[in-house]
Structure 1
Amino acid sequence: MEPIFALVLVVTGVAAGFASGMLGVGGGFIMVPVQIWVLTSLGVEPTMAIRISFGTALAVALPTAVNGAFGHHRRGAVVPRASLFLGVAGFAGAFFGGAVAAVAPGEVLRVAFGLVVIAAAVRMATAPDPRSGGGDEVEGGGRLDGDDVVDGADGGYGGGGGGALSRSDGVYLLLGLPIGFISGLVGIGGGLMMVPVLAMAMGFGIHRAVGTSTAAIILTSSGGVLSYVYHGLAVPGLPPFSLGYVNLLQAALLAGTSIPMAWAGVRAAHRLPADRLRGVFSLVMVYIGLEMMGAFEIFRLLIR
């Protein structure tokens, strides 16, 4: 690999790690477009490049999420039972999503990626921010005091907090399956969908949604990684250092900076006001979604 490509991946890892810690989204929406550009520039067939980018992004999201989740947990922003059930269901869904991605056309995967990113951004930007109350901001590293972190007979998830859906184990499982499927299909950790669902439908405050999503991504990403490795093992023409549809060299370059930067993102998340956090989340996602769908290329053609 040429040094310039390695440098680009290292810098991308910085941005992805910061986004993972700050937004609870795994950073895949930043890594995937850059990886596709690097791989196609190196002569990899475009559809294969997309699949490798998805699988590698999930592989990087896994240790990055572990690091970020630990930071959020120390600040009391992780709801353990919710993250566990979302993650378990997401694991199964992501494995199946990766299997579908292994046979889907490349352009379909690009459009699906863009649509998922934009839909999640619009939902987060336009929906009201229902607070679950009780110290949700976690300012200065303090712990949450709301019902989500109080252990009890029902684990503290008895449907309170003003969300549209009950906070029950069954609901978390039902939500985790489709979120995991989309995660595996488009190579993202699941936070792009999980954060809006937790914040809007479940009544979590934004910081609690980010922390819980980051923890759930650990399991969701694991299911996707296993699927991309398994379904790519017998594929000919993979670039060097590939294990199935996961490129170990790219993963190492990205993870080398994304993992430590996740800590910086966690600290930023607990210092920024919730509305500013939502704004950053939404704007970056819309831009990247449009870019992946080719919207800017169409615009450039129209103005010529």
Structure 2
Amino acid sequence: ISLAVVFFNALSGSWAYARMRRIDYKSGLLFAAAAVPGAVVGALSTAWIPRRLFNAIFGLLMVAASVFLFLRPSNSEKKTLPRERSHRVVKTLVEKDGTVHHLSYDPRIGVALSFFVGYVSSALGIGGGIVHVPVLVRLLNFPVHVATATSHFILAIMALTGTLVHVVTGSFSQGVHRTIPLAVGALLGAQLGALLSRRVKGHWIIRGLAVALAFVGIRLLTLV
């Protein structure tokens, strides 16, 4: 049920951001293609790794990442298009309101990081956005608002894949009626969130995600 609700939330958010022209679709599809198998491995690995050890390692990592992000919330926005380099993707994205964003990243690193994000999200049972957005911003130099929008697009694909698996296996049949009202709320909430994002500075978005990471990390450590 929760995965289906995440899908509707991400789908609604993606639609809102698509109207703003903030989504980098090509990068999103590439990263989603890596995150989906990562999520599968994450789900399977929970049976191999002692849960207390897993919680301790990732709890500490998330708290450390939270502190880093809170102190250094974002890179400065690039005002000029970076030089093209071997193996790097260099592109310009223009929003509907005329805001120009410049992106430059190594797709190989992006794929590896997305696999890791998919793994962590699946293993911990959390939404990938609180991990993927900081990764896109701090490690791949995405502008914050583009990272947020593209992360919604990636999450929609990941959640749809997982939901379809549950539908095919029949495990979702009993949850349809409970999913509908939750999905309606998720759809409306995503639209509101996308609307508010116009007014929120990028560094505050990252700091909000840092707080969310801290809560998840502390929660994991309390389970050790």
Please indicate the TM-score interval, normalised by the length of the shorter structure: 0.7 to 0.9
Q: Distance in 1 between matches of 2:124 and 2:217?
A: 12
- Structure ID, larger Rg: 1
Q: Which residue of 2 aligns with 1:259?
A: 187
C-alpha deviation, 1:180, in angstroms: 1.1
Out of 108, 121, 126, which is 1:183 matched to?
121
Percent identity over the alignment is 22
8 Å CA contact retained: 1:75, 1:143: no
Tell me how large the CA RMSD over aligned residues is: 3.6
Out of 263, 271, 278, which is 2:206 matched to?
278
C-alpha deviation, 1:184, in angstroms: 1.4
Out of 103, 109, 123, which is 1:171 matched to?
109
C-alpha deviation, 1:265, in angstroms: 0.6
Matched, 1:58 2:3: yes
Matched to 2:21, the amino acid is G
C-alpha deviation, 1:119, in angstroms: 4.5
Q: Distance in 2 between matches of 1:201 and 1:145?
A: 20
How many residue pairs match? The answer is 211
C-alpha deviation, 1:196, in angstroms: 1.0
8 Å CA contact retained: 2:106, 2:140: no
C-alpha deviation, 1:217, in angstroms: 1.0
Q: Distance in 1 between matches of 2:60 and 2:197?
A: 25
TM-score (norm 2): 0.75
Structure 1 residues 79-228: aligned runs within 5 Å? 79-101=24-46, 114-115=59-60, 117-127=62-72, 129-134=74-79, 142-148=97-103, 159=104, 167-225=105-163
C-alpha deviation, 1:256, in angstroms: 2.7
Q: Secondary structure at the match of 1:133?
A: coil
Deviations 1:62-101 (A, max 9, x none): 1211110121122222111111111111111112212233
- Higher relative contact order structure (alpha carbons within 8 Å, sequence separation ≥ 6): 2
Q: Distance in 2 between matches of 1:100 and 1:88?
A: 19
For structure 2, the 5+ residue unaligned runs are 81-92
8 Å CA contact retained: 1:90, 1:219: no
Q: Distance in 1 between matches of 2:136 and 2:108?
A: 15
TM-score (norm 1): 0.58
Change (3 A) 1:114 1:247: farther
